[in-house]
Amino acid sequence: MDNPNREHKDSLFKDYFRNEQRIIEAYNAIAGKVFPSTAKVEFKTLNNILSRSQINDIAFIIEDRFIVLIEHQSTINENMPLRLLMYMADIFKSITSEDSLYIKKAVRIPTPEFYVIYNGDDLYPEKKELKLSDSYFDLENNPCLELIVPVYNVNKGYNAELLMQSPALSDYSEFIAYIKERLTEGDPLDIAIDKAIHYCIEHDIMRAYLKQDSDEVKRMLTMEWNEEVYRKVLLEEGREEGREEGREEGREEGREEGAARAKQEIARRMKDEGISVDIISQVTELSVEEISDPA
């Protein structure tokens, strides 16, 4: 059954795959495992460590493995191995006592595995490995510490064999692809989402999930897409404007003021397009009061 206790800022990816049967099926396909659908899964909370705003990351324990599965719809961040290393250091610290580290017998810890699925718009290979060692200054010697993150492109036309092994992952990929197609054809976001929901229900794609609460699906997708468009593009432009102002004035305040003005401009544009204040607040990190009554 689907988990009914959704976090307010859950992404569609996290909400859909925070389901034992679906996550086991997707993990088996990605990692080449054969865990039964009845295997015990314990979901863990990442506490927004890996992504600052969107929560498109799922962590779970299955038997003796600690799995982190991440979805990316934007450009792949090549610092992911380093971020995951820091995250796992915190996890291992939390599950071991300090005293146990000084006894003779080795402390047993779950085997970590990391996977990224990519369905963004940039050209990207079917599979690529991000390595911690790629960040090292010295690449001449074999590194003593390595962390590898396989990235799988699940866009339409990529990794067909992998997607065939996981109907849940395939359905999710098709649903997102259909929304992108409608947006490319010029549909506004809300119309594109509505059409995708109706199309997928009619064609038995994520049907049970989409019929369960289509309004919540629309809320999550609207938040995600607006965050992607406004936060990634416009806010970055505002930061560049702030950096330029800071360079001209020679003050850190110039950068901060420029970024703050960019957030207000993003909020204004979103309000003009009829986007709810709650979603604007989540995207820009401005308070409801700042959005409703800007200074």
Helix (H) or strand (E) holding 60: strand 57-62
Contacts of 44 by beta carbon, 8 Å cutoff, 6+ apart: 59, 60, 61, 66, 91
Q: Is the pLDDT of residue 41 over 90?
A: yes
Which residue type occupies 210?
Answer: L
Q: What's the token pair of residue 111? A: 């085997």
| For the chain, domain boundaries | 1-165, 225-292
Half-sphere exposure of 238 (CA within 13 A, CB side): 19
pTM for the structure as a whole: 0.76
Q: How far apart are CA 56 and CA 13, in angstroms?
A: 6
**235 in Cβ contact with 261 (< 8 Å):** no
Three-state SS string over 4-19 comes to: CCCCCCECHHHHHHCC
Q: Is the pLDDT of residue 162 over 90?
A: yes
- For residue range 237-293, what is the model confidence (pLDDT) as tens digits? 544 554 444 444 444 445 566 567 767 777 777 777 667 777 777 667 788 788 777
- The C-alpha angle with vertex 219 and arms to 271 and 67, in degrees rounded to 5, equals 125
Q: Is the pLDDT of residue 17 over 90?
A: yes
- For residue range 166-214, what is the model confidence (pLDDT) as tens digits? 999 999 999 999 999 999 999 998 999 999 999 999 999 999 999 998 9
Query: What 3-state DSSP class applies to 166?
Result: coil
Which residue type occupies 136?
Answer: Y
pLDDT of residue 273: 65
Provide the phi-psi class of 112: left if phi over 0, else alpha when psi is between -120 and 50, else beta: beta
pLDDT of residue 6: 46
Angle between helical axes of 189-202 and 167-184 (0-180°, round to 10) = 140
- In 129-188, which residue ranges form alpha helices assigned H by DSSP? 160-164, 167-184
Residue 177 has phi, psi (to 5 degrees) of -65, -40
pLDDT of residue 229: 61
Which residue type occupies 38?
Answer: T
**178 in Cβ contact with 143 (< 8 Å):** no
Query: Average pLDDT in the 70-77 region?
Result: 81
Q: How far apart are CA 281 and CA 223, in angstroms?
A: 10
pLDDT of residue 120: 87
For 110-134, give one letter per residue: b (16+ CB within 10 A) or e.
bebbbbbbbbbeeebebeeebebee
* Strands 127-131 vs 148-153: parallel, antiparallel or unpaired: antiparallel
Q: How far apart are CA 162 and CA 168, in angstroms?
A: 11
Q: How far apart are CA 220 and CA 92, in angstroms?
A: 31
Identity of the highest mean pLDDT range in 46-55, 80-89, 119-128, 171-180: 171-180
DSSP state of 231: I
